[in-house]
Amino acid sequence: MKYIIGLYVVMAMMVCVTLISGYLLNGEYWAIASWLITGLFFFGTLFYINARYILSKKKGES
């Protein structure tokens, strides 16, 4: 369950970065925001890979 919460937090952070970049900063720092979103995507991918590994390991034990 903690992996799903982690993925949700990463996804919410991606949306927040997009909204802050677009509305509060008027798109002036779009390149930095793009790099942040890319980093968050890779971080979320690590959550996904870890969850698949843990869940497949638990399924094999039972």
pLDDT tens-digit series, residues 7-24: 899 999 999 999 999 999
Q: What pLDDT, on the 0 to 100 scale, is given for residue 15?
A: 94
pLDDT exceeds cutoff 80 at 61: no
Q: Could you give the angle at which helices 2-19 and 30-61 cross, rounded to 10 degrees?
A: 170
pLDDT exceeds cutoff 90 at 5: no
Please state the domain extents for the chain.
2-61
